[in-house]
């Protein structure tokens, strides 16, 4: 089964990379490329012309002969970027057209039987619970947890919409930074202004549920959503800020006598092991001044062009682009993403139905197998004083909660990473459905942390680990990354317990 990857591949003409039964070396960075180097997008294989051919791709307007060198560099970069994958200045994410592991078109078809068996088991649980409730109370379901979920739901919805809309201030702020000639330039004071805004924004919205006394379920949902949009806003602002600095530097090279001609510092792509870079391979050979200047212009121009070669900064600075980024299921901003040809409305309907079905199953699991156990344990613990009996009750309670908690974890995983993100991917025609990898095959916690939540892993690798790597050692960058991740988890747990753990 592992001797030939071609045996597991569907027709390559659909341009979709499917999760494979044989785990690749690093599935998070699988590229959508054909054997001839073409890039697979929107269901087809784009044939790329040679960088040296000089022929027009048919997508760009011819430049006048007297165009400045910066414009010529950008035009050349749009043609070349589709033919070669260079190290970019900013850590990048390799997006490709991929389906999820549980998609019917996935090559993990042998695992689908266990997936169906899981749903059959849950159906048996629901039927058994209904019959028991009818026997005991005369009604099939209890609605205590459901009442907790819908309390102040409209206030939650309106507040959540206001929180999302407030992130859009990053776009006009960035335009101010880009057009500034003084201290508000991104590299001068713009980064500090954006960071202060993000900090104030986070403090406001994290405290909002506590001010209005929301239930813990509403607080957890809103806090998670706030953290998600903080990451999206940070990625949008800091990546575009980097591009604005790159654009200013490229424009300055039109007059190279007064501009910096220092070589561009290159970060590795996400597909490169950061600790295995060979510095000798990154050193430029000794060239004359004119050739070095031309290569520097090319490096900077490629940085301003999307990996798919269709969009160049600042063409992306529009409200429609920002609205699209808010909706696409990713935390890392890029100038362009791989797209499907159209929205499959039947698939969107089934995923939406599955979201509400999972929420229904979560309420049943909590109502029947979690809340009664906790309530009974609370009564018993209040009526005894012996340490041995206390430990016995706590051990029994934990053992009774292990299975329903496991079911709850699996349902939450499915509703978020398979159905909610999948539904938004269908709405936006976002082609890369690789929101998780086969974390159930993980051999250690580090591997699990990388593979069960691919969007957050990409964000931490790009904007925390990758951004701090030029200034810190590898070990210190990892410490900073895990510390920031721990603080995010601590914030969510604080909303549940109303206290900070030691």
Q: Is the pLDDT of residue 143 over 80?
A: no
Pick the closest to residue 371 from 144, 152, 219 (CA basis).
144
Q: What is the pLDDT of residue 491?
A: 82
Q: Is the pLDDT of residue 58 over 70?
A: no
Q: Is the pLDDT of residue 163 over 60?
A: yes
Q: What is the pLDDT of residue 7?
A: 42
Q: pLDDT band for position 203 (50/70/90)? A: very high
The DSSP code sequence of 255-288 is: STTTS--PPPP-PPPTTS-GGG--HHHHSPPP--
Q: What six digits make up the tokens of 424?
A: 């938004």
112-137 pLDDT tens trace:
778 788 888 888 888 888 888 888 88
Q: Within 13 Å and on the Cβ side, how many CA atoms surround 470?
A: 10
Q: Using CA atoms, how far apart are residues 26 and 438, in angstroms rounded to an integer?
A: 12
Cis preceding linkage at 278, omega within 30: no
Whether pTM exceeds 0.85: no
384-397 pLDDT tens trace:
878 888 899 899 99
Q: Is the pLDDT of residue 234 over 70?
A: yes
| 472 CB burial (10 A radius; 0-12, 13-18, 19+) | middle
Residue in the block written with tokens 């592992």:
2
Q: What six digits make up the tokens of 70?
A: 């910066």
* Of 148 and 77, the one with more pLDDT: 148
Q: Using CA atoms, how far apart are residues 462 and 28, in angstroms rounded to an integer?
A: 13
Residue in the block written with tokens 């609205």:
323
Q: Using CA atoms, how far apart are residues 501 and 487, in angstroms rounded to an integer?
A: 11
Q: Using CA atoms, how far apart are residues 261 and 258, in angstroms rounded to an integer?
A: 9
Q: What six digits make up the tokens of 59?
A: 């997508």
Q: Is the pLDDT of residue 41 over 50?
A: no
77-122 pLDDT tens trace:
665 554 454 456 676 777 888 888 777 777 766 677 787 888 888 8
Q: pLDDT band for position 446 (50/70/90)? A: confident
Q: Is the pLDDT of residue 64 over 70?
A: no
Integer CA distances (angstroms), 335 to 206, 227, 299, in order:
30, 22, 17
Q: Using CA atoms, how far apart are residues 428 and 138, in angstroms rounded to an integer?
A: 45
Candidate list 3, 8, 248, 489, residue with the active-site label: 489
Q: What is the pLDDT of residue 308?
A: 81
Residues with Cβ < 8 Å from 336, sequence gap 6 or more?
Answer: 306, 307, 308, 310, 311
- Identify the three-state secondary structure at position 311: coil
Q: Using CA atoms, how far apart are residues 2 and 21, in angstroms rounded to an integer?
A: 8
Q: pLDDT band for position 275 (50/70/90)? A: very low
Over the Cα atoms of the chain, what is R_g?
A: 26
The DSSP code sequence of 29-42 is: G---B-TTSPEEET
Element of type H or E holding 153: helix 153-166
CB 397 within 8 A of CB 374: yes
- The neighbour count for residue 362, using CB atoms within 10 Å, is 18
- Identify the three-state secondary structure at position 65: coil
The DSSP code sequence of 172-224 is: HHHHHHHH-SSTTSIIIIIHHHHHHHHHHHHHHHHHHHHHHT--HHHHHHHHH
Q: If you average pLDDT over residues 217-228, what whole number do you get? A: 90
In this structure, of 145-149, 323-327, 483-487, the range with the lowest mean pLDDT score is 145-149
* Catalytic-residue membership of 225: no
Q: What is the pLDDT of residue 3?
A: 43
- Identify the three-state secondary structure at position 125: helix
């Amino acid at each position: 089964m592992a001797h030939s990857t071609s045996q597991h591949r569907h027709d390559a003409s659909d341009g979709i990379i499917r999760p494979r039964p044989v785990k690749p070396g690093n599935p998070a960075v699988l590229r959508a490329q054909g054997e001839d180097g073409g890039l697979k997008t929107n269901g087809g294989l784009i044939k790329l012309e040679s960088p040296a051919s000089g022929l027009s791709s048919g997508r760009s307007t011819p430049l006048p002969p007297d165009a400045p060198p910066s414009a010529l560099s950008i035009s050349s970069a749009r043609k070349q970027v589709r033919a070669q994958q260079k190290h970019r200045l900013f850590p990048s994410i390799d997006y490709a057209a991929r389906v999820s592991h549980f998609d019917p078109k996935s090559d993990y078809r042998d695992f689908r039987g266990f997936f169906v068996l899981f749903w059959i088991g849950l159906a048996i649980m629901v039927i058994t619970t209904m019959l028991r409730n009818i026997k005991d109370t005369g009604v099939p379901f209890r609605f205590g947890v459901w009442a907790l979920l819908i309390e102040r739901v409209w206030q939650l919805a309106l507040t959540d919409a206001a929180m999302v809309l407030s992130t859009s201030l990053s776009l006009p702020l960035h335009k101010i930074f880009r057009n500034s000639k003084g201290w508000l330039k991104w590299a001068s004071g713009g980064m500090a202004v954006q960071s202060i805004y993000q900090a104030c924004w986070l403090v406001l919205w994290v405290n909002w549920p506590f001010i209005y006394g929301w239930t813990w379920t509403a607080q957890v949902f809103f806090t998670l959503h706030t953290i998600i949009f903080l990451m999206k806003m940070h990625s949008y602002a800091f990546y575009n800020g980097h591009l604005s600095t790159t654009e200013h530097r490229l424009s300055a090279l039109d007059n190279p006598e007064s501009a910096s001609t220092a070589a561009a510092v290159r970060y590795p792509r996400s597909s490169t092991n950061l600790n295995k870079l060979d510095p000798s391979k990154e050193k430029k050979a000794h060239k004359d001044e004119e050739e070095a200047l031309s290569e520097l212009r090319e490096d900077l121009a490629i940085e301003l062009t999307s990996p798919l070669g269709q969009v160049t900064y600042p063409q992306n600075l529009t409200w429609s682009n920002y609205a699209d980024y808010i909706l696409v299921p990713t935390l890392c901003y890029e100038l362009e993403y791989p797209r499907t040809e159209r929205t499959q409305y039947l698939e969107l309907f089934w995923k939406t139905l599955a979201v509400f079905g999972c929420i229904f199953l979560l309420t049943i699991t909590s109502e029947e197998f979690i809340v009664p156990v906790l309530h009974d344990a609370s009564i018993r613990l209040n009526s005894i004083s012996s340490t041995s009996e206390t430990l016995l009750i706590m051990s029994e309670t934990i053992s009774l909660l292990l299975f329903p908690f496991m079911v709850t974890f699996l349902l939450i995983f499915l509703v978020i990473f398979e159905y909610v993100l999948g539904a938004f991917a269908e709405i936006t025609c976002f082609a890369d459905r690789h929101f998780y990898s086969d974390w159930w095959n993980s051999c250690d916690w580090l591997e699990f942390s990388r593979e069960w939540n691919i969007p957050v892993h990409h964000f931490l690798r790009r904007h925390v680990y990758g951004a701090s790597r030029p200034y810190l050692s590898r070990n210190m960058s990892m410490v900073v990354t895990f510390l920031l991740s721990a603080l995010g988890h601590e914030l969510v747990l604080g909303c549940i317990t109303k206290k900070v753990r030691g």
